[in-house]
Chain A
Amino acid sequence: MSAKRIYMDYTAGKPVDARVAEAMLPYMNTFYGNPSSVHSLGQEAKRALEEARARVAQLINAEKKESILFTSGATESNNTAIKGFAYRNKDKGTHIITSSIEHMSVMNPVKYLSTKGFKATFLPVDQHGVVNLESLERELTDETIIVSIMHANGEIGTIQPIAEISQLVHRKKAILHVDATATAGQIPVDVQADAIDLLTISSNDMYGPKGTGALYLKQGVRVEPLIHGGGQEQGLRSGTESLPTIVGFGKAAELARIEMQMENERLIKLRDKFIKGLVGAVPYSFLNGHPTKRLPNNVAVRYSFIEGESMLLSLDMMGVAASSGSACTAKTLEPSHVLIATGLKHEEAHGSLLFTLGQQNTEEEVDYVIGLMPGIVKRLRAMSPLTPKELKE
């Protein structure tokens, strides 16, 4: 057993950057006032809250900081964007379009609305996971009020052509929601350049604390609040602001804006070396997702005849933490809807393995894992009844 601990599951959860944690600390034990209070402790809290808002706004090039609504995370942002917009605008139409590879926090609100008098369309994707633009154009009608498409998919890494999607959507007078959980703070996001109306942002995905996120609302785009109460966040999200995590989120956004480009150059080199070292190193090994239009940290592969969780357990025995799209690792036994939407058969989807890289990964670690995989695959294939005879020797 190796003493190494190698973490390559950054999409599932990221550590909080030490500089972020440091920025948060005073807001837990020194400046603990409520931003709504009149006294000076409250006003310091208010100042910090608005500074964080400005930093998040700057990261995505929002026209003003008031366009940023703090939430409890990407799931709440997606729910507010979709259900909040649909409820507020149902007199304009009842048709919602999304893709078949969205996160569950988009999929399930859309499915929920389809039981409440709305009509939902799930767009197909191609083999690389790119949304079919002809389908989008065809499905958009005068009844369509909102289209929700993710900027990039964390499971297969594919980045969507948001600018083109935005043009099609606005030609039909619908509005565009973009789930940027996997991209904001990781690759450039510009809500003005791409004419995005609603955008979901996650704090932890950019090394900020968990339990915090934001929703960008373009001026004039109205949503119904999901949470009613004291009227914080312009009445759109009641509840005393979670100041320590919001301050951390703001700091993470600032650091991401400054350091993103250099970090991505490093990650892309690691990613490409990793993919090259895995795909083709053994027979029947493939890349999932788009070969070039992909997230800088995403290495999604699949091996025929073996199953993802067995690979994860084997890697864990060697100190490596990874992920898979495999059913058996999740709360459900079904294979990943994302992999199935790209046209993979069930048994192919089950053989998927996902490494997502981050700040602390080194080239040495990538080399180590590249070296481990052939042995793991060989052992599991020897065990599998699906393995063809010629691979058994």
Chain B
Amino acid sequence: MYTEKVMEHFRNPHNMGEIPNADGVGTVVNPVCGDMMTIYIKVKDNRIEDIKFKTFGCGAAVATSSMVTDLAKGKTLEEAMKITRGDVADELGGLPPIKMHCSNLAADALHVAIDDYHKKQKEMNK
């Protein structure tokens, strides 16, 4: 059902956990299957210096969360905004068609976290 790459990330997820004083936090819920994912980012000089995730969901949800943190770490915020659900799925060697919604969630949560960072910056600069 899953590629070896997906199982690798499920067995040993990268960047799992929380960042206590994160600069941006993004939570996304899939209303159909109930999956839930939160991404925490720490930003320095417009780059994602640290990133962590928490996920409630299936194996694909865990693997895509782990993968999106790998893809985003070290990238500029603009670069990270360009990461798509397709990128995440491709990096994992593909996902079963019915699971494509899960990778949707991972990239979405990252984008929400970045939006949250921008919003917080705006408020601080007021």
Taking Cβ atoms with an 8 Å cutoff, the residues of A that contact B are 305-310, 313, 317, 326-329, 331, 333-335, 346-347, 350, 382-386
Contact = CB atoms under 8 A, between A and B. Distances in A.
B7 interface: yes
Contact of A383 (B32, B55, B101): B55
A383 B16 CA distance: 7
A297 B56 CA distance: 29
B86 to A, nearest CB: 19
Given A313-B10, A327-B34, A334-B32, A384 B55 contact: yes
Contact of A313 (B7, B27, B36): B7
A382 B62 CA distance: 12
Nearest to A351: B56
B75 interface: no
B33 A328 contact: yes
A347 B35 CA distance: 9
Given A309-B59, A317-B11, A386 B36 contact: yes
Interface residues of B, number: 26
B11 to A, nearest CB: 7
A302 to B, nearest CB: 13
The secondary structure that dominates the B interface is: mixed
A383 B54 contact: yes
A335 B54 contact: no
A329 B58 CA distance: 8
B94 interface: no
A310 B57 contact: yes
A328 B99 CA distance: 8
B56 A306 contact: yes
Contacts of B36: 385-386
Contacts of B24: none
Given A333-B98, A347-B34, A385-B38, A328 B58 contact: yes
A313 B16 contact: no
Nearest to B38: A385
A291 B57 CA distance: 28
Given A328-B99, A350-B34, A385 B10 contact: no
A39 B85 CA distance: 66
Contacts of A329: 58
Contacts of B99: 328
A93 B31 CA distance: 40
A333 B10 CA distance: 20
A308 B57 CA distance: 8
A369 B66 CA distance: 27
Interface of B: 2, 7, 10-11, 13, 16, 27, 32-38, 54-62, 98-99, 101
Contacts of B2: 313
14 contacts: A307-B35, A307-B56, A309-B58, A313-B2, A328-B58, A328-B99, A333-B32, A334-B32, A334-B33, A335-B34, A383-B62, A384-B54, A385-B56, A386-B36
B97 to A, nearest CB: 11
Nearest to B99: A328
Contacts of B101: 333
B34 A383 contact: no
A16 B11 CA distance: 33
B57 A328 contact: yes
A386 to B, nearest CB: 5
Chain A to chain B: the 4 pairs with minimum beta-carbon distance, closest first: A328-B58, A309-B58, A385-B54, A333-B33
Most buried by A among B35, B56, B59: B56
Given A350-B34, A383-B16, 17 more contacts: A305-B56, A307-B35, A307-B56, A307-B61, A309-B59, A313-B7, A326-B58, A327-B33, A327-B34, A328-B33, A329-B58, A333-B32, A334-B32, A350-B33, A383-B54, A383-B62, A386-B36
Nearest to A307: B57
A385 B55 contact: yes
Given A310-B57, A313-B7, A385 B27 contact: yes
Contacts of B38: 385
Contacts of B11: 317
A140 to B, nearest CB: 36
Contacts of A328: 33, 35, 57-58, 60-61, 99
B54 A310 contact: no
Contacts of A308: 58
A310 B62 contact: yes
